[in-house]
Structure 1
Amino acid sequence: MTSTSPTEIDAIAGVSHHPDGTPRGGVALTHGAGGSRESPMLVALCDEWARRGFLAVRYNLPYRRRRPKGPPSGSSAADIAGIVEAVATVRALVDGPVLAGGHSYGGRMTSMAVADGLALDVLTLFSYPLHPPGKPERARTEHLPRITVPTVFTHGTADPFGTLDELRPAAVLIGAPVEIVEVTGARHDLGSKKLDVPALAVDAALRLLG
């Protein structure tokens, strides 16, 4: 149980989930291309982080702030800038480590921000879109060698945006410790009736945090 109800952070279109007592650190998580901060997975992840003693914030990317539905529009640079702003906002609220990431597009944009110098303690990526479905030749990995932050990939074994066999060599490109959390049978939404995906992802991130 958390000590307070989730609260709004208007500057980043965010919702914060509060732990009991002083936060051990902060987490900023964002959504996939068709989603929003109300994604059930983001809500579950933030609840799990709060149970572990962290202030967890789920927030909308700039394109989602402009319109409530639809795919990303406009410049990806604007979304990356929104991620940098969200991380800075969370960092100002806590004393301790700061982690960030997101689902699919949101995770990819966060990884690009990290590759460009955004400082984090751990990067946590959910259903990283290695390539468009059915188009493995269009790999989205060229920036990964510039990431030097410990990274968790939480990935379904039936994800059409990339197989585990494709993910493993991509993860090795990162110049820092990496963990891959395999979610057996899950597709891109990471839905699972057998596994507690938020708990497994948080466990892996805490291991990398040390």
Structure 2
Amino acid sequence: MTIDKSSIVDIDVKSPQTPIARLILAHGAGEGKEHPFMQEMASHLVAGGIEVVLFNFPYMQQMKETGKRRPPDKADKLLAHFAEVITHITENIHSSLPTFVGGKSMGGRMASMLYQEHDEIQGAMVFGYPFHPPGKPEKTRIAHMPTLTKPMLIIQGERDTFGTEQEVLNYTLPASIDCVFLADGDHSFKPRKASGKTQHEHMVYAAKLCVDFISRLI
């Protein structure tokens, strides 16, 4: 299902026959909603009874149209678009569904920066939070987190270069944030062969964690 509106375009809604809740899911900095990670995660979530809304930020829409790569827009523009998507979806599609937001990496960070301000949003989920740029652990992106009181689930690979398990456990995060670490996973949950795990297994487990998280809250 694709929605085309003057200010809200490039949105896909993937829904099970009888959804129990909705997750509006934002993409990472370098790839849009079409990326295999986004599509596979959406598929697993739908199988768990969650309606998933995927969308592309405006800069990603321009990349698709021109075929030329460009950096993400500033946070304020990303947040404004994310908020417009939330309003459009909650007012027009299955409006009574309990609604959550989330995202992959940058998209998850944006979700964490806006969900507290939206009464209609019950919680947030992040797949690979970018706690800091790779190789720059001193430049953390957690200044807003101490004020968060709504539930948030962060699913992180143990060796994620944007925040390893050891690094994240040393942060002082509020009790509202629950972090789960995937064995030997990288920023996209991919483990090394020697770990005995697979990315697919981690994706399935991450989706189950999200469904359980949502089920507890609704």
Same fold judged by TM-score > 0.5? yes
Distance 2:156 2:200 in 1: 15
1:5-25 CA distance string (max 9 Å, x none): xx112324111111113x322
Map of 1:38 onto structure 2? 34
Distance 2:97 2:147 in 1: 24
- Please give the secondary structure, in 1, of the residue aligned with 2:87: helix
Instruction: Say whether the 8 Å CA contact 1:26–1:98 is kept in structure 2.
Output: yes
Q: Which amino acid in structure 1 is aligned with residue 118 of structure 2?
A: L
Picking from 179, 203, 207, the partner of 2:211 is 203
1:11-62 CA distance string (max 9 Å, x none): 24111111113x3221100111101001222212222222232321111112
Matched, 1:9 2:8: no
Correspondence list, 1:94-133, <5 A: 94=94, 95-115=96-116, 117-119=117-119, 120-133=121-134
Picking from 59, 65, 68, the partner of 1:63 is 59
- Once the two structures are TM-superposed, the CA of residue 194 in structure 1 deviates from its matched residue by 4.0
- Please give the secondary structure, in 2, of the residue aligned with 1:27: strand
1:123-162 CA distance string (max 9 Å, x none): 0011100001111110101011222210110100110111
Distance 1:40 1:19 in 2: 19
Query: Rg bigger for which structure?
Result: 2
Change (3 A) 1:194 1:110: closer
Distance 1:71 1:197 in 2: 33
Distance 1:13 1:41 in 2: 18
Q: Which amino acid in structure 2 is aligned with residue 188 of structure 1?
A: H
Map of 1:157 onto structure 2? 158
Q: Which runs of 5+ in 1 are unaligned?
A: 1-6
Q: Which runs of 5+ in 2 are unaligned?
A: 191-198
Distance 2:80 2:209 in 1: 25
- Please give the secondary structure, in 1, of the residue aligned with 2:141: coil
Correspondence list, 1:151-190, <5 A: 151-170=152-171, 172-174=172-174, 176=176, 178-190=177-189
Instruction: Say whether the 8 Å CA contact 1:17–1:46 is kept in structure 2.
Output: yes
Map of 1:148 onto structure 2? 149
Instruction: Say whether the 8 Å CA contact 1:179–1:204 is kept in structure 2.
Output: no
Provide the alpha-carbon RMSD of the alignment: 2.0
Change (3 A) 1:175 1:62: farther
- Once the two structures are TM-superposed, the CA of residue 110 in structure 1 deviates from its matched residue by 1.4
Distance 1:71 1:164 in 2: 30
Misfit runs of 4+, over 4 Å: none
- Please give the secondary structure, in 2, of the residue aligned with 1:141: coil
Report how many aligned residue pairs link the two structures.
200
- Please give the secondary structure, in 1, of the residue aligned with 2:39: helix
Distance 1:81 1:89 in 2: 12
